[in-house]
Structure 1
């Protein structure tokens, strides 16, 4: 059940925003930090705090893949299988981990005798880290330049409870701990570990070596081709309707 402490923290999150319902996403992360997944009780609690329907909360919780309706492991491992990571080895990594862990997509591996932690596995879309492909994530922290062998070694270290640090970030913490951070309750690790690597700044280094700089930008006020910004929503709608009508007129004339 959702206890009083969690209810107070849900209210605290909602109070951060001019419109309380804007806090729903971090509130759902808080539910996951407490219960490990999105539960009916968690949905009802969020709905009550925000004074909206449970159906509205459920619609959000089922839309985003970061919210789980079933339990995940202490460490949730995601393998990018989008285009670049896939061709660089992501598909092979994902296949190898499924075989090694004896599970399918979005499932939790059996906790073996001697394991201190559990691991779950999911294929995920682009991590926006293509310069380090193939990329994995553990509880949303980057693990760069992986291979099938390094991926197996990683999950075995996690299952054994060894301390593991992300490639560009802090030491890995548990699923529930990171969900609390995503809810807006920092764990003090924000500045731990590197935030970028050589591949991320390669273009910048080349520009510096060759003396390249960005062209000077003109201010919007000095440009004659910048349209006035509509003052209100109604004016914006009318302007959009006028533009569409003009476009259709031009198209009809060209067809004739």
Structure 2
């Protein structure tokens, strides 16, 4: 067996743990992600798309692809194949171009996620500052592992690469908010507040 193949096989379990297997790399029809699932931008979002495209000069409207994908995800909660096709249509680009972008950037969710998407940074600075204890705390509190969603659909847990807040490690991104300098006790309190329907104050603890 070649060294390259050994390295790939060694890395695969980590990729599977952090990103839920090959779900982010290939498309396979499921009950909630297939071409029969309808997606259409709301009238309000269509206006936003025109405003976004207006930022870019003629001949470069396709540069709006990333913000339009983000808008689709915010509307639907994640990006089914039908949403990506609609993005291709409104941006005037081939569907393959949308697939390339949506599968490259891990901020785009190609599988359903919970109302509260907990992303634990697992790279070196956060790891050295106790990220593993934060992940363990979440797993124990919610009864799920990385790549899983709670039965009530409220929480999804993922381990991700650097989120750019190394100076305040360890940290967790929940939806759009950063929670930094965390301890397991802090994480427990944050989850309790989310369960109570509150928005915990983001930032360093």
TM-score, normalised relative to structure 2: 0.73
1:9 corresponds in structure 2 to 48
What is the CA-CA distance between 1:39 and the residue it aligns to? 1.8
**SS of residue paired to 1:122:** strand
2:62 corresponds in structure 1 to 21
Q: For 1:60-71, what aligned pairs fall within 5 Å after superposition? A: 60-71=101-112
Of the two structures, which has the highest relative contact order with CA contacts closer than 8 Å and spacing of 6 or more?
2
Q: 1:145 aligns with which of 181, 185, 204?
A: 181
Q: 2:89 aligns with which of 29, 35, 48?
A: 48
Superimposed CA distance per residue, residues 81-132 of structure 1 (whole angstroms, 9 cap, x where no aligned partner): 1112112110111122123212222322222xxxxx8122111222222221
Structure 1's consecutive aligned runs of 4 or more residues displaced over 4 angstroms after TM superposition are none
Does the alignment pair 1:99 with 2:140? yes
The answer to whether the 8 Å contact 2:115/2:155 transfers is yes
What is the CA-CA distance between 1:33 and the residue it aligns to? 1.2
Q: 1:131 aligns with which of 164, 167, 172?
A: 167
Structure 1: gaps of 5 or more residues? 112-116, 169-196, 198-256
Cα distance in structure 2, aligned partners of 1:78 and 1:95: 13
Q: CA RMSD in A?
A: 1.9
Cα distance in structure 2, aligned partners of 1:57 and 1:79: 27
What is the CA-CA distance between 1:27 and the residue it aligns to? 0.2
Change in CA separation of 1:131 and 1:53 when aligned onto 2, cut-off 3 Å? same
For these two proteins, the number of residue pairs brought into alignment is 164
Superimposed CA distance per residue, residues 139-164 of structure 1 (whole angstroms, 9 cap, x where no aligned partner): 13221111122112211211210232
Structure 2: gaps of 5 or more residues? 1-38
2:190 corresponds in structure 1 to 154
Q: For 1:177-196, what aligned pairs fall within 5 Å after superposition? A: none
Q: Which of these two proteins has the greater Rg computed from alpha carbons?
A: 1
TM-score, normalised relative to structure 1: 0.59
The answer to whether the 8 Å contact 2:120/2:160 transfers is yes
